[in-house]
Amino acid sequence: MSSVHYSSTGRYIDLVQENSQRGKSLSHPAISINPYGKYIDINFEEFYYTVCHSAKYFHSQLKAINFSSGRNVGLLCHSDSHYLWNMLGLMASNVAPVLLSPRNSIEATIHLLKQSSSRALIYQDHFNYLVKEISKEIPDLVLIPKWIAKFPECLTPTEYQLIIPLESQEKELDKVSYTLHSSGSTSFPKLISQSNRVCHNSGYRFIWEELPLDRVEINFFPLFHAGGILGTLLMCMYQMKSMTICPDLIPGSHFSPKMILDLVQNLSPKLLLILPLILKELIEYCNNVEKSQGWDILKRVEIMRYG
């Protein structure tokens, strides 16, 4: 039985750099994203370059902050391809993103930022109204607009500096990589921190599923959702498996069953990672349209995972 492969630094995010070299012999893309209405494939080297551009931005924005008392930085954005690049860029610059759900109340968001002792908040302009309220409660919180990836410019090499110097591999393995939170349906949500060691170990466990690395799987889980992280950051990055995330949507928009079936027709995925409510709507839609427009398309998908 093989053992867990840890990155040379101990940071989970540094598998991205290692994959950029190991992935040169692979024909499948590292990721397929749809930020502008059309899917683009990004190879493992280009994936690393894009993360570097993001990390360079965050170094310029965060370098003046004193992180001696903690590395946490809040991230408040709708889940899309830009969310992924912001999350990975923060991790690469060596701070720990706190992945905030935009579905939270203002009170819950403020609670999480205070509990995590976040030094800054990366936010999408859609949440300007919310950020103003947050700044009233946490006046010393540094507010930074999210980074927006521009293609193909981001697919070129660049360098970045770390905000916080690295320590030994063993120490880095036990440091926090990112932080999720519980749903908080009955009380304030609870923070759930994930160490670099846990991330490596979680990625390693997926190896035993022995899934084809080039299999097309569309992930509809939000990236601030545990399922979204498992299906992208942990499973795919560790195995160097191709990942496809759902198209970027205008804030407030919703994936209709017709949109999902169109994606199935165009991309021929073997697996969908999907939220229960969306799956329910999809089944109801297929039950109420011609078979050729519904079930005949959906049955091409071999596996539906929901949660």
Residue 168's domain spans which residues? Answer: 12-24+43-215
pLDDT at position 1 is 47
Q: Residue range 50-71: average pLDDT? A: 97
pLDDT tens-place string over residues 182-226: 876 557 899 999 999 999 999 999 887 778 899 999 999 999 888
Domain annotation covers residue 147 = yes
Report whether pLDDT(37) > 70: yes
Domain annotation covers residue 254 = no
* Residue 142 and residue 119 in contact, taking contact as beta carbons nearer than 8 Å: yes
Domain annotation covers residue 230 = no
Domain annotation covers residue 62 = yes
pLDDT at position 185 is 59
pLDDT at position 184 is 60
Phi, psi (5° rounding) for residue 263?
-65, -40
Hey, how many other C-beta atoms are within 10 angstroms of the C-beta on 19? 23
Domain annotation covers residue 261 = no
Q: How many domains does the chain have?
A: 1
The amino acid sitting at 233 is L
Domain annotation covers residue 279 = no
d(C-alpha 98, C-alpha 180), whole Å: 6
Share of residues in the chain with pLDDT > 90 (%): 86
pLDDT at position 206 is 84
Domain annotation covers residue 297 = no
Domain annotation covers residue 180 = yes
Q: Residue range 241-262: average pLDDT? A: 93
CATH number at residue 201: 3.40.50.980
pTM of this prediction? 0.95
Q: Residue range 73-79: average pLDDT? A: 96
Report whether pLDDT(60) > 80: yes
Report whether pLDDT(254) > 90: no
Helix (H) or strand (E) holding 47: helix 44-62
